[in-house]
A and B are shown apart, each in its own frame.
Chain A
Amino acid sequence: MSALNKFADYTLGLFSASADDEYHEQVLLKSQAVGMNTLGLTTIPVGAVLAWLLPGWATFCSFLVVLPPIVANGVTDAWVKQYAPRMSAINSPKYMTIPLIALVAWLAGIGYQFSSVGGPQYAVIIGGVVGAVVALATVPVSMRRNKHADQRRLDNELDAADLQ
């Protein structure tokens, strides 16, 4: 068994142990989905605040706040695709409004602090905006492809098991 599955089993075991019954366990697990989503949504505003607060070159350290959600998403994806297809991107402009506003504020903060040490302010902002637009255009497509690939792979595994 992989280290990932051991970690996942241990984590799920903690939830099972703390739950009173199956309904309680299901609600607790759903609450973690809400929490995970909240973590993702709060990361960008926190990054924006740090970008404005951290002086000069240190402003780039604000990117460190995205590490925990990225690692958590990586672990989630690696675990879930063993059992079910990974999730598609959330396609909701309303949902994306606050993160996008915070992202603009983040880039502006980095540009402002970077210019205070003589860096090219607009290059950072333009680079950031282009990066964000490219990510917004490609990530949903990539997530959809991953989901379909997972579905095909899992179906193939079931077919192979049927043949044995």
Chain B
Amino acid sequence: MAKVREPVPANSVQAWRGWRGITQADLANRVGVTRQTIANIEKSTYSPSVHLALAICREFRTTVEEVFGKDQHERPE
């Protein structure tokens, strides 16, 4: 069986946070994690659970695809 350890793909959490005017600390507080967690997600050194990814996307009022998937980096209206 092939090894499936691949680097964590890039995401646009930092960009969305900027577009929505939310600080790392604010986002962390809203989704119930620490600021270190948000910082590591932004740096792609940590891949969040599905539940946390959904919570982050709810705060951005967007979809998982636009933050973590192939549709990311599209600036919201």
What residues of chain A have their CB less than 8 Å away from a CB belonging to chain B? Answer: 20-24, 26, 151
Contact = CB atoms under 8 A, between A and B. Distances in A.
Contacts of B40: 23
The secondary structure that dominates the B interface is loop
Nearest to A22: B49
Contacts of A22: 33, 37, 48-49, 52
Nearest to B32: A21
Contacts of A26: 46
Contacts, number: 24
B62 interface: no
A26 B34 CA distance: 13
Q: Which of A20, A23, A26 has the most CB of B within 10 A?
A: A23
Given A21-B34, A22-B48, A23-B36, 8 more contacts: A20-B33, A20-B34, A22-B33, A22-B37, A23-B34, A23-B37, A23-B41, A24-B37
9 contacts: A20-B34, A21-B34, A21-B37, A22-B33, A23-B33, A23-B37, A23-B41, A23-B48, A151-B1
B53 to A, nearest CB: 11
Q: Which of A21, A24, A151 has the most CB of B within 10 A?
A: A21
Interface string B28-49: 0000111011001100001011
A21 B33 contact: yes
Contacts of B41: 23
Interface in B1-33: 1, 32-33
B34 A24 contact: yes
A115 B60 CA distance: 74
